[in-house]
A and B are shown apart, each in its own frame.
Chain A
Amino acid sequence: MLWQKPVFELLELLKRKEVKPSEVVQAFYERFSQTEEKVRAYITPTYEQALQQAKELEGKNPEDYPLYSIPIAIKDNINVEGYPTTCASKILEGCISPYDATVIERLKKAGAFVVGKTNMDEFAMGSSTEYSAFFPTKNPWDLERVPGGSSGGSAVAVAVLSAPLSLGSDTGGSIRQPASFCGVIGLKPTYGRVSRYGLVAFASSLDQIGPLGRRTKDVALLMEIISGYDPKDSTSAKVEVPKFSEELEREVKGLKIGIPKEFFEFEMEEGVKECFDNFVKFYEGLGFEIEEISLPHSKYAIPTYYIIAPCEASSNLARYDGVRYGYRARAKDINEMYAKTRDEGFGPEVKRRILLGTFALSTGYYEAYYLKAMKVRALIKRDFEEAFKKVDVIACPTSPSTAFKFGERTQDPIKMYLADIFTVSVNLAGLPAISVPIGRVSSLPVGGQLIGRPFDESTLLKLSYLWEEHYKHYQEIPL
């Protein structure tokens, strides 16, 4: 069946004209129809439009398009011209994007199709997709459990294969943690690797767009398209983009993998550690050196993150004021309009973070909170720099637990925040990291995280590729 085939095989079939673009889109559309009602991964499905585009592409030469007719699901905080971009928020309901994000521009040029805008935690704030203002997305492996978040919809889309690839965004773990909960691969690129232009900002210094998929090579192919300097994003880096999909098949030898001892001082669900040990043993068996390392400041990562991210968010979300677009509450004067619009338009987690950030930036608190957090951030970054003098890659579980049940953590924000305990330090340090499925605890997927040096996504993809040949996680398909 077409929808079970990896992207690199689909591309071959398309090039040989053994299948037509519309057949590919149709196959995933059917898969969407079978699964969507159960999992609810999409806020706005756009398969019909994709089918139309597929027909237009049929006369064109596949050789000119590196992602010729590949369906891709897009997190609903990335602008696609002509489609709504809601960020799963009432405040942006009904807003149609007048422009394409740079990643979308590049995907369109590469011949890919947007098959839908996926569900997420409102403005990417959350770790379960329960904070979507519209509906929660369900974990396909257990419909009573969350898919993780905030890119829950994008993770579920590739888990159930209503799309072979998707884009998410990762500010503190929002690609890797749902990838881990849903049993797929998720890559958070180095900060600056992928343009943020058109990604609705949550925390600008931490946000990064990245791919999710079932096969390492597919993820690599998508990375080749979306990566690279963009003059529209001042924080994007002028660093050469390797041919990731070719590099990953090259032999790797003599790698050193570091295991941060501090990460294992945290409470961890039973079974997660065993999966991880097994994962590490595999690399040891390949002759890689395993070394314990120390990231002494990583224990401050959560509090540091929950100062910096809300500070930036409080400012980034100020534009949703009801004046120019989106939701506007009826009120008798401008100040009441602002207050009511934002009170009625934002959900509880977004408001919580806006309040946190507004407080932490206020006169008299700025030094104690924001500045201090920025100093700790620098220390966390330095820890990694020190560690990377000794090792090439750092490995740890992606999350201390498997997917939890709906409602389990919404009453306790701190507990929710701890789902990101292994992922946030990576964003604070601006490093690349990948989450790969490494096993299961009572039928629920477990993810392992590999963290690399700046702009060394290649090594992460190589390791993921080796692992996937050993543990063919992609063969397991839910629903």
Chain B
Amino acid sequence: MEFEPVIGLEIHVQLDTQTKMFCTCPVEFGAEPNSLVCPVCLGLPGSLPVVNKRAVEYAIRAALALNCKVHTFSVFARKNYFYPDLPKGYQISQYEQPLATDGWMEVNGKKIRIRRLHLEEDAGKSIHEGNKTYIDLNRAGTPLIEIVTEPDIDSPELAREFLETLRNILRYAGVSKADMEKGQLRCDINLSLRPKGTDQLGTKVEIKNVNSFKFVQKAIESEIERQAKILSTGGKIVQETRTFDPSSGLTHPMRTKEEAEDYRYFPDPDLLPLVIKEERIEEVRATMPELPKQRYERFIRDYALSSYDAKVLTDLKELGDFFENALSFYPEDPKLTSNWLLNDFLGQIRDRGLSLEESPVNPEKLSKLIKLIKEGVLSSKLAKEVLAQMFETGEDPEVIVEKRGLKQITDENSLVAIVQEVLNAHPKEYERLKSGETKLMGFFVGQVMKATKGKANPQLVNKILSEVLSQ
């Protein structure tokens, strides 16, 4: 029998706020352990939570970017469980009445429904060393949104693509850096199999905390294989929670349904219901930053970029930002700018193992180079050399051109003299050319380039040669 997977995702996203969800401690990665804490996020007796307004705004923005219905009334609830890095013995989350529901996201033309999106706080971190466990509560209280999809995903690739698209949308909305490697985006997978073509639902298995896009796809592939093997031999799937081990590429059981905890959710009496005015929601909608799909369409429409270039410049938000930033200094030729950015510039970045942020060539410097190319000061061959030099020294292209005398010779009079010299130096070839052997044009252009160490403008040389011949 052939099976098809039914996949739903639960994604936790760290909101990019300055301060924590319920106190004013800063949110920072990599600080001295337990240095970013206060009575509230330590859960000291008597402390009380106060909702971070910016986190609420970001959550609304994320919800709108995912086409959700944002509710004017939602309720914070306590999720009760004991864990050493959970200071209060409960996590403040939202349960029966979440901030937003009923959204959708498009991935490669397929619509994937979002069941709900709610606000919550993160726990601290347990650090295991030998037989000791240390607790760092710097992360405790960091604002998160949890996004839950409907089981609309039907392949491991689509799951990965969904996450990549989601990451991009969240980055564009400016609500999260959504870096999976830094734990700013974490994913749980719900997966069941059913006979292909039917609409019955199989027993669901949850795979917890998979921490890269690649691993999400791999975990699903391996879990499909495992379940299919069991089902095709007449076995039964156990409803359970599993973990994915990247080194073996396999999933392993963590706990069964019977061992699952009862979280005893109830409304948090320390917090009033979260009431958001309709106008506020509209205000957030009106100030929504441009989302990836809109940028992609705009790049094609306004800059006449190819669909491929527009996609590359959209998928990597920082690259698109770099592009537009460069255009703001020199808007004459977007296509030329895009070409240089995506080919030679990115080539340099890659060869030197730099990130975009580390690049010594900033958008303004790149735009100056484009200007020199566009105005014919630099040939494309020279421009490549200049760009390499810019990466080497961080200097402006004009400075490099000036210093090294790389300027293209565009002065007609001096070029005419050089052309004449070259013709005189090769009398035989000159005769053959004059008698109609036009393929020798290339030879002479080459000789002029050689004589000028490549600085002559080739079009101009051609023009002068033709003029001399026709005299």
Contact = CB atoms under 8 A, between A and B. Distances in A.
Interface in B80-118: 80, 82, 84, 87-90
A401 interface: no
Interface stretch (B7-15, B187-195, B267-275): B267-275
A311 B266 contact: yes
Contacts of B39: 98-99
B172 to A, nearest CB: 32
Contact of B43 (A198, A319, A370): A319
B82 A318 contact: yes
Interface string A452-469: 000000000000000000
Interface residues of B, number: 28
A78 B45 CA distance: 9
Contact of A233 (B42, B48, B84, B90): B48
A205 B42 CA distance: 21
A362 B262 contact: yes
A324 B269 contact: no
A87 interface: yes
**Which of A78, A98, A318, A361 has its CB near the most chain B CB atoms (within 10 A)?**
A318
A370 B264 CA distance: 11
A311 B269 CA distance: 11
B45 A197 contact: no
A412 B44 CA distance: 33
B357 to A, nearest CB: 37
B78 interface: yes
Nearest to A86: B45
B423 interface: no
A203 B42 CA distance: 20
Contact of B42 (A314, A315, A324): A324
A338 B84 CA distance: 10
Given A197-B48, A234-B50, A318 B262 contact: no
A320 to B, nearest CB: 8
Nearest to A99: B39
A315 B80 contact: yes
Contacts of A85: 45-46
Query: Chain A contact residues: over half helix, strand or loop, or mixed?
Result: loop
Interface in A314-338: 314-315, 317-319, 321, 323-325, 334, 338
Interface in B359-417: none
B46 A79 contact: yes
Given A85-B46, A197-B47, A321-B89, A204 B272 contact: no
A410 interface: no
Contact of A318 (B46, B49, B88): B88
B135 interface: yes
Interface string B39-66: 1001111111111000000000000000
A234 B271 CA distance: 6
B84 A334 contact: yes
Contact of A199 (B43, B46, B49, B88): B46
The listed residue with most A CB atoms (<10 A of its CB), out of B47, B50, B269, is B269
Contacts of A200: 45-46
A233 B48 CA distance: 6
A278 B49 CA distance: 46
Contact of B78 (A101, A205, A315, A334): A315
A315 B89 contact: yes
Contact of A321 (B49, B82, B265): B82
A232 interface: yes
Given A319-B45, A321-B82, A358 B50 contact: no
Contacts of A14: none
Interface in B450-466: none
B44 A315 contact: no
A201 B135 CA distance: 24
Contacts of B270: 201, 204, 234-235
A462 B149 CA distance: 59
B87 to A, nearest CB: 7
A196 interface: yes
A363 B95 CA distance: 14
A407 interface: no
B69 to A, nearest CB: 25
A92 interface: yes
7 contacts: A234-B50, A234-B270, A312-B269, A315-B90, A319-B88, A361-B264, A362-B264
Query: Considering the complex of A and B, which 7 residue pairs feature the smallest CB-CB distances, nearest first?
Result: A318-B89, A205-B269, A361-B264, A204-B269, A200-B45, A198-B46, A319-B43
Given A87-B45, A198-B47, A235-B271, 6 more contacts: A92-B45, A98-B44, A232-B48, A315-B80, A319-B87, A362-B262
